[in-house]
Structure 1
Amino acid sequence: MLHVLAVLAAALLFGTTGTAQALGPSEATPLGIGVGRMVVGGTALAIVAFLLAARHGRRSPQQRPRLTPKPLALMAATGIALAVYQPLFFLGTERNGVAVSTVIALGSAPVLAGVLEWALTRKLPSPTWVGATALSTAGVVLLGVGGGAGSGGADAVGVLAAVGAGASFAVIANAQRRLLDDGWDAFTVVGSMGAGSAVLCAAAIPFVDLAWIGDPGGMVLTLWLGLATIAAAYTMFTWGLQGLTAATAATLTLGEPLTAALLGVTLLGEQLSVLAIAGLTVLAGGLAALAWGSRAARDPQPFAVEG
């Protein structure tokens, strides 16, 4: 159950991302926000995670997994996927609003994660996951079709960007799960992801307008997105992932669109149609069903940070 709570806590932080973007400087572009977020957040995540990995890593060299091309490729995949996720997600929220776009992005993630996990392992998701994801997906469809109050549906480019963000998240979930199954320390896994994404985004700085970060609002936006929604959230998510399947963890992060929708309505004044409200209700039911069915940890001895 602690693994479930850790992933849900991460989802709450993830859910503030779109609202923070909307409250930030108007001149900030989706690409610029993504680059600034990952340079700060990826660097902080790498530092904290590698320090914790060094503190926890007390196994002898013979017990540690070898750094062969396979884990290197998986680590690189998480860094690339996290970097790619940023502009896609922020483009989606710019086009379709925080509530609707976040739901589309994270609603597509569990389905894509489950399909990818089956393709890689030939292991079918559990009946609990199938039922909860079916219920949650129905809620996503209602939200996407309903959109905002009085809207004629979601913008196509924004939808594609949001689905692309969901696919990136599915890659992260599966790659991290495979690294953990191979014996890699959880903080080494998340640290490599942060470092890889930070390096990629830092390379893009000369080609992106980041002048807005010099404003107080821009600085607050960058620090919040980097430190809270990346460094803190992904550390908790990776720890929680150890006791769950990638598909289950991805479905649990549907707590993000629930949070995003509430913030969008209460802080940004976004209006949801009757269909969208029904979608949120169905989505909440699917999330609750999955949390109940995931009470037992996947691993007999889940990892814990020494105090």
Structure 2
Amino acid sequence: MAACLWGTTGTVRTFVDGASNVSIAASRIVLGGGLLLALAMVTSRAGLARLLSTRRGWALACLGAVAVAVYQSAFFVAAARTGVAVGTVVTIGSAPAFAGLLGALTRQARLTPRWLAATAGAVAGCAALVGGGESAGVEPVGVGLALLSGLAYAVYASVASAFITRGEDDRAVVAALFGMAAIMLLPVLATTGPGWTATPSGALILLYLGGITTAGGYLLFARGLRTTPATTATTLTLAEPAVAAVLGVAVLDEQLGGLALAGLALLAASLVLLMLPSRE
């Protein structure tokens, strides 16, 4: 459900005129982080205080918040340098691999043959879906930044999972991470110009991007982490480009070629494989 919400952002972004992608990203994190922090203060103040009551909790929360700020910023810079298609494939495709590596190194998750097969199929499907029929230049620094974005996203998911699986309140976890990330991105928002939010349509779009896709989406993601390993959850977020592609066809009259349709089918089949219950 979280990935489906995130998949709507690209379509909604097309209705914003005169705003940079970095400004939109910073705006949604600042608003979403503020809303998540306000919600936690009302519904889970004790959980938030417990989360940040130790040095280890503070250190882990700071790591997660830096990861949030980095993966948002690095992705948009990468897309500007190496193209949206390549940047998206490298970022979204590398995140599950990094999450699997982190899970194995920290012994938070075991990489099963099913996870390996589903992740490989989903990444291949994502690459075909995003890049099918389009040619995009590959710029080494841009690819490096996209890999950094994928790694940072995997770090965020692993940190959130570590907090939640040890019993911390999921609302407090996302509030702490995104609230701190919002503070970090305030200077970015100030320098990129949030003037696009002053119009009625801009304000509504910001409310949707910050309130629904960010605050709502990451609350759903955190809730899912209660019973789903970060490795599996990160692979499931590959549904995001599939939703974006379907909305592009349905809303924006975009066309999908044969390779992209095959990629969409492979991606869907891989995610279904990952979600099927397994015998113990």
Same fold (TM over 0.5): yes
Contact 2:126 2:263 in 1 (8 A): yes
Task: Pick the aligned partner of 1:197 from 181, 185, 190.
Answer: 181
Aligned length: 277
**Which whole-Å deviations, capped at 9, do the CAs of 1:181-204 have from their partners, x for residues lacking one?**
333222211110121111111233
**Which whole-Å deviations, capped at 9, do the CAs of 1:240-295 have from their partners, x for residues lacking one?**
11101110011111121111111223323433332222111111111011111479
Task: Pick the aligned partner of 1:39 from 27, 30, 40.
Answer: 30
Identity of aligned residues (%): 37
Paired amino acid for 2:7: G
Please give the alpha-carbon distance, in whole angstroms, between the structure 2 residues aligned to 1:173 and 1:148. 28
Alignment of 1:221-260 (within 5 A): 221-260=205-244
**Which residues of structure 1 form unaligned runs of 5+?**
1-8, 297-307
Contact 1:103 1:257 in 2 (8 A): no
Alignment of 1:1-307 (within 5 A): 9-25=1-17, 27-54=18-45, 67-91=53-77, 96-97=83-84, 102-121=88-107, 123-144=109-130, 147-149=131-133, 151-153=134-136, 155-156=138-139, 159-293=143-277
Q: Give the TM-score, by structure 1 length.
A: 0.80
Q: 1:268 to 1:166 in 2, by over 3 A?
A: farther
Paired amino acid for 1:139: G
Please give the alpha-carbon distance, in whole angstroms, between the structure 1 residues aligned to 2:171 and 2:88. 27
Paired amino acid for 1:255: A
Indicate the SS of the match to 2:276.
helix
Please give the alpha-carbon distance, in whole angstroms, between the structure 2 residues aligned to 1:219 and 1:72. 33
Indicate the SS of the match to 1:189.
helix
Contact 1:65 1:183 in 2 (8 A): no
CA-CA distance at 1:164 after TM superposition: 3.4
Please give the alpha-carbon distance, in whole angstroms, between the structure 1 residues aligned to 2:78 and 2:201. 22
1:4 match:
none
Please give the alpha-carbon distance, in whole angstroms, between the structure 1 residues aligned to 2:98 and 2:240. 17
Indicate the SS of the match to 1:213.
helix
CA-CA distance at 1:228 after TM superposition: 0.7
Contact 2:52 2:58 in 1 (8 A): no
Indicate the SS of the match to 2:100.
helix
**Which whole-Å deviations, capped at 9, do the CAs of 1:108-133 have from their partners, x for residues lacking one?**
22111111111222753223212211
Paired amino acid for 1:40: L
Deviates more, 1:33-42 or 1:87-96: 87-96
Q: Give the TM-score, by structure 2 length.
A: 0.87
Higher helix share: 2
Deviates more, 1:9-18 or 1:260-269: 260-269
Q: 1:229 to 1:122 in 2, by over 3 A?
A: closer
**Which whole-Å deviations, capped at 9, do the CAs of 1:13-64 have from their partners, x for residues lacking one?**
1111122222211x21122111211111110111113433248x5xxx9xx6
Paired amino acid for 2:42: L
Paired amino acid for 2:15: L
**Which whole-Å deviations, capped at 9, do the CAs of 1:200-234 have from their partners, x for residues lacking one?**
11233432222222123322221111001111110
Over the aligned positions, Cα root-mean-square deviation in angstroms equals 2.8
Q: 1:292 to 1:198 in 2, by over 3 A?
A: same
Please give the alpha-carbon distance, in whole angstroms, between the structure 2 residues aligned to 1:102 and 1:295. 34
